[in-house]
Structures are given as C-alpha cells and as structure tokens.
Structure 1
Amino acid sequence: MLDKSFKWNKVPMIGLFFWLLKLVSTGQGESISDWSSQLFGQQNQIIGATFTVGWSLILFGVFIYMQIHSEKYRPIFYWLSVALLAVFGTILADGLSGVLGISHLFTTLIFAAGMVFSFLVWYFLTKSLSIHKITTLKAELCYWVTVMFSFAMGTALGDWFADTKGGYNPDPFGLGLGLLNTGLILGLIFLIVIAYRYFAQPRQNSISEILTFWIAYILTRPIGASFADYFGYDWRGGFLGNKGMSGIWLVIFITLMVITIVKHKKRERVEEGD
C-alpha cells in the first residue's frame, strides 16, 4: 500500500497565497482553539480542552483522509487539514508543557528532534525531501508527519519566546518577550527567510531551499498564534476576545480559500488544455 503512486501532485504551489493561508490558518487555529476550550468556563478547562481536541481531531481525521485518498491536490482538503491541525495541535503542544511540567525550551528541542527524525525516515523511504512534488503515498505520509512536528515545534517556540519566569504560564527558561514582541521578532525573521528564497532563488530541492522552506513553515505557527493572542487578550484590554478574533480569522481564511480554489481551477483547465 505504501508503494501507491499518484498521477498528479498532492501538494500546493509555494507562493504568496500559500504563505498567507499558512499564516492565517495558524492564527485562526489559536483563536478558535482558545475560544472552544473556554466555552464551558474557566472552572471547566479540562472539559473544554477535551471537547476541543475531540471535535477538531475528528474533523482533521476526516479531511486528512480525504486529502490522502484524493488522486491529486485539492485545496479544500489540504487547507482544512492544516487549519484543523492548528486547532488541536495548540492544545496538545501546550498540554505537554502544562501536564508534564516540561519547559517550552525543552519541548521545542524535543519537537525539533522529531522533525529531524521524520526527515531521516522520509529520505530513507523516498530518497527525496521534495516539498514541490509529492506523488507517492510514502512521501505524502512523511510530509504530513513533518507538518505535525512543525506545528508542535512552532507552538513551543512561540511560548518559549513569549512566556516569562513568573506570572501566568511561568516558564523557568522563558525569554519573556511578550506576545507582540514575539510576533514582530519572529515575523521579521520570517520575512528575511522569504526574501532570501525570493531573491537568491536557491535551486529547487537543494538543502538551502528545503531548509528555508521548513524554517518559514515553522515560524508561521508562532507568528500567527502570537498576533492572535495579542489582539484577543491584550489589545485594548481584550476588546476583541477569542470569539471576535475567530470571526475575523474565518472571514480572511474563507476569502483566501475562495481565491485559491478559483486560481487552482484555472490552472487545472490550462494544464488539461495542454
């Protein structure tokens, strides 16, 4: 079964709308995850977290199943899988630090090691780490495992940067930069990486091209989450809240999805015409 091949590519083109959707999906996932977890009140956070993990994990399972069993890249399956992964991945990554009492620095290192391991398995099975063309089931499964580790690592990285050694969510190794500063600093690094990819144009599937892609991919998680929490909790005394931010993210996400689907269908018609 793992040797199954697909006639068409299973992953999206990497361009402006790819990165916009990735950033929005992470911010959306953070806001919706927090809002859903708090539906039962602050005194019932365990119930709220269980509820959120339950519905988001089920929906993620549905859409990742559709994505993997589709014969080619379908924007709706791919991006809803990414968006739902951002929802339950938020709680799972935070739970590892909260329940086990492990600092965000160490959880970042743990998930980084997980990513390295997934790369090794990916290359061992396929002899390639291409993020542009995936046409086998083995490569696609490795791709999604790596995506999962990247979400978890990005979540832990953002918390490590933002959290302090005291107060809410204390972390003995926290850098204490706060939500806004974390978003701005990591956002600047993200823009530098994207600028390098655009202007230097490293050879496709070279080490630098693959490495910079995954660095940018990881960074989208803490950037989106930091701005989601800042505007949901800190800006104007939490005026928007998680509910307001969830609505804003959803409108932006749906708009970008519609544009992406239309562009993809046009590209398909051109390719079929050729």
Structure 2
Amino acid sequence: MPQSLDGTSKREMLCKVPEITLFFWITKILTTGMGEVFSDYLAHTLAPVTAVALGALGLLVALILQFSVRKYIAWVYWFTVVMVSIFGTMAADVLHVGFGIPYVVSTTGFLAALAIVFILWYRFEKTLSVHSIFTHRREFFYWAAVLVTFALGTASGDLTATTFHLGYFLSGVLFAAVFAVPAIGVRFFGMNRIFGFWFAYILTRPLGASFADWMGVSRARGGLEWGTGPVSLVLTLSIVVLVGYLSISKRDVPANASAD
C-alpha cells in the first residue's frame, strides 16, 4: 500500500471532506454568517476573555472529534466548520478591537499566513486538493487553511464594510459578484479546479458574514436591526436542518478516490 511522506498509508482513512456540491456551498455560507453574528453575540453578552476562551475550547473539542473519526461524518465535519467560523471571527476581531490593528493590516497578514499554509501544504503533499484528505497530515493542513480563510474573510469583510465605507449590504453584493468569478472561470475558461475551489472558499466567509451582519446590526450602522441573537438562531436552525438532511440522504458522502 502506498506511503505518504509522513510514513502513513494514503488509505489509512476514507476522505474526510464532503463532496463539493450545491449543498456544500449553501451550508458553508450559512456557517460563515452564523459564526460572524454568534461571535458578536457572545462578545456582547459575555466578558471578552470568557467569550474567546469558550470559542477556543469549542474549537479544540470539535477538532479532536474530527481527527478521531476515520471517514467523513456530516455532523462532525460541519460542527467543526461552525466552531472554526466562530473562533476565526474572534481571532480577527481581537486583533482589531483588542490591539487596534487596522483591518487592512490584519487582512494582509492573514493573506500572507494563508499563502504560507498553502506553500507548506504543497511542499509536503504535492497537492492542495480537498479530495485527497486521506492522512492526518493532510487533514492538519486542510484545517489550518480553513481556519486562516475564516479569519481572512472576517477581516476583509470588515475592511470593505467599515474602512472602505461600503456598508454590510454592498459588501455582501460585492463579494457575491466576485464569488461568481471562479465558477465562471472553471466552467467556461479552463481555470484550475483546485485554485477555483479555494478562491471561492475564501470568498464564502466575507459573503456570508456581510449579509449576516447586515441583518443583525443596528439601523444606525446600516443594518436591519434584527439582532445578532435572533439571526444566530435562525442560521443555526438552518444549518441543523441541512446537515440533518445530508446525514440521512448521504448526498455529500465522498467517493473513496485515490490521492491526487
């Protein structure tokens, strides 16, 4: 049986990432919005240190659970994504609110961090394909990239909404338009599918977060003033329904394909 560079079998696990379908993108965007507003809700109802500690603990529990299973399990995977979303939002917000770092600086920093993760991932594994998550090392690189994309998306969404004064709704429209670029590029212009996936994946964060913020924040800040608590609840219930459907239907269970 082939061995990976870390000495483990490339077939030590089944693929740990779902098939990339329409359900994937819908659920992913919902988790980005939910993580954004729920993080804000915690920050306004708990002491900041307590909120960050709870977010970090939840993320740790989710990652331990995700790494302990040997195949893709819908509720385990999406629970981990939700916790990454919440903690990634907190990480970006702490830099700006807690340390006064401008969004343009944090956005640039997270972009550089993501580039480093991708370079190291490709250096060791020779692929960035999400269909090749068969070893723990590849899984580690995958979740490191996911975590940084959430922090990057949070910072870039706030950058356009506040620093560039677009507001949350127009920021959402902007990111929705850019989100369509990789889909069109892959389908009609031969864009590399792996590049197109990660391009779109990064954009789901500011896309979902911008619209969630628009629904939750006050009218004085350009929002609908529905409240971060109610918006968090509605998005959470939507995620639960979708993940429940996927768990039963198995629509997104990946084929046990070989590594790229």
> TM-score normalised to the size of structure 1?
0.83
Structure 1 residues 55 and 266: alpha-carbon distance in aligned structure 2, compared to 1, 3 A threshold: closer
Partners in 2 of 1:261 and 1:220 — Cα distance? Answer: 22
- Check the 8 A contact 1:75/1:260 in 2, yes or no: yes
Counterpart of 2:215 (choices 231, 235, 247) is: 231
Instruction: Tell me, in whole angstroms, the C-alpha distance in 1 between the residues paired with 2:112 and 2:106.
Output: 10
Structure 2 equivalent of residue 259 of structure 1:
245
In structure 2, the residue matched to 1:169 is none
1:175 paired residue among 155, 164, 171: 164
**Structure 1 residues without counterparts, runs of 5 or longer:** 41-46, 164-173
2:131 is matched with which residue? Answer: 132
What one-letter code is carried by the residue in structure 2 that aligns with 1:158? Answer: G
Gaps of 5+ in 2: none
Alignment root-mean-square deviation, CA: 2.3
Query: Residue 222 of structure 1 is aligned with which of 206, 211, 226?
Result: 206
Task: Give the match for residue 73 of structure 2.
Answer: 74
**2:138 alignment partner AA:** A
State the distance in 1 between where 2:253 and 2:223 align: 45
| Partner Cα separation in structure 1 for residue 205 and residue 156 of structure 2 | 9
Higher relative contact order (CA 8 A, sep 6+): 2
Q: Which amino acid aligns with 1:244?
A: P
Secondary structure of 2:129's match?
coil
1:31 aligns with one of 29, 37, 58:
37
- Name the residue aligned to 2:231: 245
SS class of match (2:132): coil
Q: Aligned equivalents of 2:122 and 2:182: distance in 1?
A: 24
Q: Deviations over 1:73-111 (max 9, x none)?
A: 111111111101111211211111223322211211111
Residue 170 (structure 1) aligns with: none
Aligned length: 248
8 Å CA contact 1:9–1:135 kept in 2: the answer is yes
TM-score normalised to structure 2 length: 0.87
How far is 1:266 from its partner? 9.0
Equivalent pairs: percent with the same residue?
A: 33
1-structure distance, mates of 2:204, 2:248: 24
- Which residue pairs with 1:211 in the alignment? 195
Q: In the alignment, does 2:185 pair up with 1:196?
A: yes
